[in-house]
Amino acid sequence: MPRFLYDTYPPPDYPYLHATSAFSAILQLYLRSAQLDTADIRYRRLGDTALCCRLGCVAIETAHHLFVQCPAFAEIQGSHLQGLVLATSDLSVVEPPLVGEALCAIARRLFCDDADIWPQLCSVYYLGALPFTQCCCV
């Protein structure tokens, strides 16, 4: 095929290009393009499934429910939260005291809906967003 038929423009700079792992990048890509197979998306597209969480919750299964609210992942979230708080407290030693305290407070509430730290009023960390960035809540 002739080369002039190919698009010469570079791909757009999406946030998932800066992910720390391939799994995180793929997950963010699927989430941002509404292709993660959650019950709400499957119900809207095909209508062949119930809306309730397949992990036993009575809530509607959305990406937000799975990553933030679902009790099935509470233990995993807790272990990652511990590591995040420890890493943040280590980093906060080099920062001024008020900045270090603010960073630790944000780290402790990263995986939960908290209107004080999330401008969108709900956690969207799973999309690769941080509390001080702008992103739409799903």
pLDDT by residue, tens only, the chain of 138 residues: 566 666 677 666 666 566 667 778 888 888 888 888 899 999 999 998 899 999 988 899 999 999 999 999 999 999 999 998 898 888 777 778 788 888 888 888 888 898 888 887 888 888 877 776 444 444
Write the CA distances from 39 to 53, 63, 127, 130, integer angstroms. 7, 9, 18, 26
**pTM for the model:** 0.71
- Mapped onto helix, strand or coil, the DSSP state of residue 76 is helix
Domain residues of the chain, as ranges?
A: 20-127
DSSP state of 68: I
Rounded CA-CA distance 44/41 in Å is 5
- Tokens read off for 71: 């009790």
